[in-house]
Structure formats: C-alpha cells, structure tokens
C-alpha cells in the first residue's frame, strides 16, 4: 500500500538557480512513500507539475463560514481522474441578472444538499451569470463545465442554464463528499482538479486557484448577509 507523505512547501518561488524550474516536484522513496515539494534539495525529486512564477500565490487563511459549513482537514486520497475544469476569474456582467437563474440555483442546491448562496457565489465567479461564457481553456456555461465533466455529469447542452447548473452543482457535491465537506478544498478542486488537491492535501499554490477560492468565499459571505 502506498502512503502519501506531504512535505510543506513555500508558496513563492524566488528564481534561485538551486530551485530549477518552478513547479511541484515528486519523489517515491524505497518504502513506496510519495513526497511532494516545490523546493527540491535532493536530486531524486523529479518535476511533477511545471508552474510559472506568475501562477503562484499565497494560500489565504481559513475564513469563518459558520457551523453549518465546517472546514475540515482532508485525508490523503487516491480518487479517479476526471477532467478538471479550468476557469477564468471574471467579474459579473452588469447586463446579466442573477435572478434569472435563482429558481434553478435553489432547486438544484436543495436537490443535492448544497448551500444555494455558495452555488450563486460560484456562478458569479465562474461566468458572471453569463450562460454563454466560454473560457480560453474550453470551459462553458454558467458553471464553466469542461466537456469531459459535462459528459460525466450527463449534461447534453452546456449552454442550457438548467442543465449547466445541475451539472455543476452535482459535480461540486461530489467534491464535497470527496473532501469531507471541506468547502475550501472542494472549491480548489473545482478549479484546479481533484487529483492534485487530494495529493497535496491543501490548496495548490496556483495564483488562479488561490484567487478563485478567495473570490468565491467573499461572494458567498455577501450573499449570506
């Protein structure tokens, strides 16, 4: 049985020649234990995920979401490998009215047992309530589903608001169950992919992912008021 050992890593790369290419490095020792770091000091570590300096940021401190949304630590997991969405963080289009989708948000949040205010915050961060939004990486619709994820969630028309919202909520519910209802890790997995979050046991040090989690939680708090 392989056990995953997570090595604490700094979230800024300083460009030192000793660090080599910025990214996450991986090494499997003689006992089968997997080690990760972004500051390799041993030549045994091999580049696992390449990352540019511009994509690295600090992880925000855990926000207080209240007793209804406890933030719990996730254990090391080895989940299946679906295609993770790749999202662009955008501000809401003032011409788009979130109320147009309120009934769908409430319906599917209730169906899958997710806070509707959190789903609304995710849609605001994902697409700015634009049902026809397409990211540079191919994520589509209100909840910016990648084609593989849409297929996995049985979404036949990603530009149909009802189908897209149900697919996104269903996928996020799956992530919550995967990460022991840890909202922050589930949001990070929605953005960066569930496998990397499971391997690291924390929010990956990608600026886009860190910003995404912070942005969604800020919107969430405003909708809860």
3-state secondary structure the chain: CCCEEECCCCCCCCCCHHHCCCEEEEEECCCCCEEEECCCCCCCCEEEEECCHHHCCCCCCCCCCCCCCCCCCCCCCCCCCCCCCCCCCCCCCCCCCHHHHHHHHHHHHHHHCCCHHHHHHHHHHHHCCCCCCECCCCCECCCCECHHHHHHCCCCCCCCHHHHHHHHHHHHHHHHHHCCCCHHHHHHHHHHCHHHHHHHCCCCCCHHHHHHHHHHHHHHHHHHC
Q: How far apart, in Å, are the Cα atoms of 112 and each of 65, 100, 108, 115?
A: 19, 20, 6, 9
The span from the CA of 102 to the CA of 97, in Å, is: 9
126 as an active site residue: the answer is yes
Q: Given 126, 163, 166, 194, which residue is catalytic?
A: 126
Q: Which residues are known to be catalytic?
A: 126
């Amino acid at each position: 049985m392989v056990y995953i050992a997570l090595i604490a890593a700094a979230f800024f790369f300083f460009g030192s020649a000793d660090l080599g290419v910025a990214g996450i490095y991986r090494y499997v020792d003689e006992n089968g234990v997997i080690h990760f770091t972004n500051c390799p000091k041993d030549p045994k570590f091999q580049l696992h995920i390449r990352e540019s300096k511009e994509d690295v940021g600090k992880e925000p401190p855990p926000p207080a979401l209240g007793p209804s949304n406890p933030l719990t630590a996730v254990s090391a997991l080895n989940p299946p490998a679906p295609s993770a969405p790749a999202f662009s963080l955008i501000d809401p289009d003032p011409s788009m009215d979130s109320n147009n989708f309120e009934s769908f948000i409430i319906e599917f949040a209730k169906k899958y047992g997710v806070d509707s205010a959190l789903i609304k915050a995710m849609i605001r961060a994902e697409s700015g309530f634009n049902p026809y939004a397409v990211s540079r990486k191919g994520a589509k619709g209100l909840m910016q589903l990648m084609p593989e994820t849409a297929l996995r969630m049985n979404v036949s028309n990603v530009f149909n608001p009802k189908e897209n919202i149900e697919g996104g909520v269903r996928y996020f519910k799956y992530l919550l169950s995967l990460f022991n209802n840890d909202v922050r890790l589930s949001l990070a997995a929605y953005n960066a992919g569930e496998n990397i979050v499971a391997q690291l046991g924390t929010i990956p040090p990608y600026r886009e992912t860190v910003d995404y989690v912070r942005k969604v939680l800020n919107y969430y708090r405003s909708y809860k008021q």
